[in-house]
Each structure stands twice: as structure tokens, then as C-alpha cells.
Structure 1
């Protein structure tokens, strides 16, 4: 099973000297990028899970409705919000969507599983930092989903052969043929592969004059859209099963 997921976050990069971009403009870029993702998913009739950063989610209510109406899952991406803030936003968004928010994703968690369970979350997706060195470290992690305190903990997927994680950076830089082979071989051994991409990767960084490190500039913007198109076409051609995270867990 392929669990395709997207982190909806504002691009935090600085702009080049002589250019400025407001928080509102950054939010508009995030919305535009997300709608591009939705268009591609709709073309290939594939459902995904969208992990939306808590600090901006209430500003994206129309976008959330569009995501939900297309049949995708909405979950939370936690960076630095307090538990009280998370609970308030969760109730607010659930009222807007008339659906429960079941999942939360984080890199550095500051909450216990018991706190998350009491806040109404059923699963946690823990991911690591994708800097220039981390994506190519050989790691060994259990691919099994475990349950603690009534919360399912989904590990970051890692190829059992190359030991590369299925994070945003690896998808961005690997040749598509190699990436496809990695997914295919992983699914021979593991029950699922969870892939995640970041919405900022679909940004035309040159148009908006963002300063992006050289190692992160490759395949951004339209090239990222084309790469996602190619990957989803391959999934359908091979008749590979996909699922929203919450459906797979429950």
C-alpha cells in the first residue's frame, strides 16, 4: 500500500537582496501550490492525506473545504503550537469540515501520547529532519505500526535495501526510475510505504526571488509538478494500491 501525504506549510526561505515578500503573499503561494497538487491528484484519481501546519490552518478554510470535497484526508502538522492551541484549532476546523481530525505529524514532539489521545487524535506520524546530510544516512528502523496509549504510531518509511527514507528531499533529487524501483522493492517486503512531500517544493523560487540552498533548488516548482505527475502515472499503470492514512490505520 502506498500512503501518499503532503505537508502544507508556508515557505520560510528568505528573499534575495532587494526583494521582500509578506506573510500574506507566502500564504497565497502555499494555497497556489496546494491547488496544483490537488489538480494532479484529481487527474490521476488518487486520494492522499494533507498534514496542514497548525499556525496557518485557520487561514486556509476555503482550501481545506476544497481538499475535503475532493475526498482527501486533512490532518495536522505540528511545529511549535501549544497543546491548548492545538485543541482549540482542532475543534474549530472540525466544525468547519464537519469531520474529525484524526492524525497529527511532527518532527520534534512536545506532547505525550496520552495528551494526544485525550485531544482526540488516533494516530501520530513521526518524521525526521531532511537536511543535506540526513536523507542519505543509512538508517534501520522498524517498518511496523505500533500502538501505545490508544494511539497508533506510524514510523517514517525507509527502503530496506538502500536504507533511504521516503522523505521530501529524496523524492526531489532521485531519478524517477530509481525511486520507482525503490518503492516497488520496498513493497515486496513491507506492508506499506508512506511518502511525504512539502507544499513549498512546488514553488517557483526564481519568480518569487527566494534564497534556496543549492542542494534544494533541484526540481522545484513546475519540475516538481511534472515529477509528481510521472510518479502517479506509474502508480496507476502498475495498478498499485493507495490509501489515505486514516483509512489504512482504521
Structure 2
């Protein structure tokens, strides 16, 4: 089973590298990439979950309405991508539901930051996918957290997938930088061991970004733009040939609880 997701947000990553990008461009880069993602998913008849900030959703109502119409799930990525307060947990869920008349049951914190499980439960979420259970220097050390799903405060925690051996992450950076035969091998290992795969990406990866102006590192920009579109196209085709089902996080958590 494949849990494919995308964090749709203001593209503010250049600020981490002391680059420049106006707010309007943060939104337009993500909108361009989201259009390409939706076209790919439609081509392969694949369903995914989209974790959206309120800021991006308010600026992109037509695109959010499209993804919902095409059978994808909308979940919360809080209110802002770079500014978080605990009250944003409930506020973002309520605002997304108000904007699109849809039930929001899932959460992913921006940059996979830690969050109080009690606050997540109090805000009414049924699942949370905010943990990458690996070690990334300068970002997080989650080697003691379960590789696979577990419950905390009766909220289903769905960590991002890492390999059974050595906890090699299969997130977006790996997809860009590993040779695809290695990434596919790790995918097979995870599916064999865990029976599901949880991988996530961002719209800007599919857009033609201004690499020099944004001052992003080479490791983050390798195989972006059209190369990423082709890479994902080939990967989805490979998975579909194996007849591995895709499902939304919402449907996955319902199965776990049933």
C-alpha cells in the first residue's frame, strides 16, 4: 500500500539559505508545481494526500478544489509554514474545513517539527504524520521512535518511511539524489517489511526554480523541475505495474482502527 503525500505551502525554503523570494513568488512556484503534480496523478489514476497551510490554501482555492474533486485528501500543514503557535493546530483545521466544506482529520507539521501529542488530540486530529524516524544532522534525531505506525493520545502516528536496515529515509531528498535503482530497492524492502510505504514531496520540486537566486544547496535542487516530473512519472508507472494500491492517509487510518 502506498501513502503518497505532498506538503503544499509557501515556498519559503530560500530564506533558510539566505536567498530571496517575494511572497507572491513563493505562492506561484508552489501553484505551478501543484498543477504538474495533479496532472501526473490524474495520468496514473493515483490518489494522494495534500497537507496544506492555510496561507497557501487561501491563495490557491481553485487548485485545492481541483484536488478534492479528483478524489485526493486535504489535511493540515498548520497556518503558516515558518511560524507556528499551538493554537494554529485547531485554527488551521477549522479554517480549511470552512474554506472547502470538507472534514480535515490529518496533520503534518512544517519541517516535521515536534508537537505536543496532547495538543494534537485536543485539536481533533485523528492522525499525525510529522515524524521522520531517522537521524538527519542539524534537523532531528528520531532513531528511538518507532519506524512504523503507533498511537499516542489515541492519535494514529504515521512516520515517514525509512529502510528496515540502518533507517535510510525514503523522503524527497533521497528521491532526488539516490540512483533510482537504489531508491526502488529500498522501496521494495520497506513494502516487504511494513506492507506500506509513506513518502512525501513538495510542489516546488516540480517547478523550474531560480536555483542561483534562491541560493539553495545542490543536494536540494538536483533533479528538480522537468527532471523531477519525469522521475516521478517513471516511478509511478513502476509502482502501478506492480499493482500496489495507493490510498489516502484518511482511508489508511480508518483501516488501522477498524
TM-score range, shorter chain: 0.7 to 0.9
Kept in 1, the 8 Å contact 2:135–2:143? The answer is no
Distance 1:109 1:57 in 2: 23
Is 2:162 the counterpart of 1:158? yes
Distance 1:113 1:134 in 2: 23
Partner of residue 113, structure 2 = 108
Partner of residue 209, structure 2 = 205
Kept in 2, the 8 Å contact 1:130–1:169? The answer is no
Quickly say closer, same or farther: Cα 1:132–1:60, change in 2 above 3 A: same
Task: Give the superposition deviation at 1:95.
Answer: 2.3
Name the SS of the counterpart of 2:74 in structure 1: strand
Partner of residue 47, structure 1 = 47
Q: How does 1:77-116 map to 2 (within 5 A)?
A: 77-78=77-78, 79=81, 80-106=83-109, 107-110=112-115, 112-116=116-120
Is 2:241 the counterpart of 1:237? yes
Distance 1:173 1:126 in 2: 22
Name the SS of the counterpart of 2:188 in structure 1: helix
Name the SS of the counterpart of 1:3 in structure 2: strand
Which runs of no fewer than 5 residues in structure 2 stay unpaired? Answer: none
Compare 162-171 and 205-214 and name the one that shifted more.
205-214
Task: Give the superposition deviation at 1:50.
Answer: 0.7
Between Structure 1 and Structure 2, the one with more helix by share is 2
Is 2:179 the counterpart of 1:175? yes
Q: How many residues are aligned here?
A: 247
Partner of residue 215, structure 1 = 219
Partner of residue 142, structure 1 = 146
Quickly say closer, same or farther: Cα 1:134–1:219, change in 2 above 3 A: farther
Name the SS of the counterpart of 2:59 in structure 1: coil
Is 2:12 the counterpart of 1:9? no
Task: Give the superposition deviation at 1:113.
Answer: 2.3
Task: Give the superposition deviation at 1:28.
Answer: 1.2
Kept in 1, the 8 Å contact 2:127–2:158? The answer is yes
TM-score by length of 2: 0.84
Compare 21-30 and 199-208 and name the one that shifted more.
199-208
Quickly say closer, same or farther: Cα 1:157–1:130, change in 2 above 3 A: closer
Is 2:252 the counterpart of 1:248? yes
CA RMSD of aligned residues (A): 2.9
Task: Give the superposition deviation at 1:37.
Answer: 0.3
Quickly say closer, same or farther: Cα 1:198–1:20, change in 2 above 3 A: closer
Task: Give the superposition deviation at 1:138.
Answer: 11
Task: Give the superposition deviation at 1:3.
Answer: 0.6
Distance 1:129 1:28 in 2: 32
Distance 1:196 1:138 in 2: 17
Is 2:75 the counterpart of 1:75? yes
Task: Give the superposition deviation at 1:179.
Answer: 1.1
TM-score by length of 1: 0.87
Kept in 2, the 8 Å contact 1:3–1:195? The answer is yes
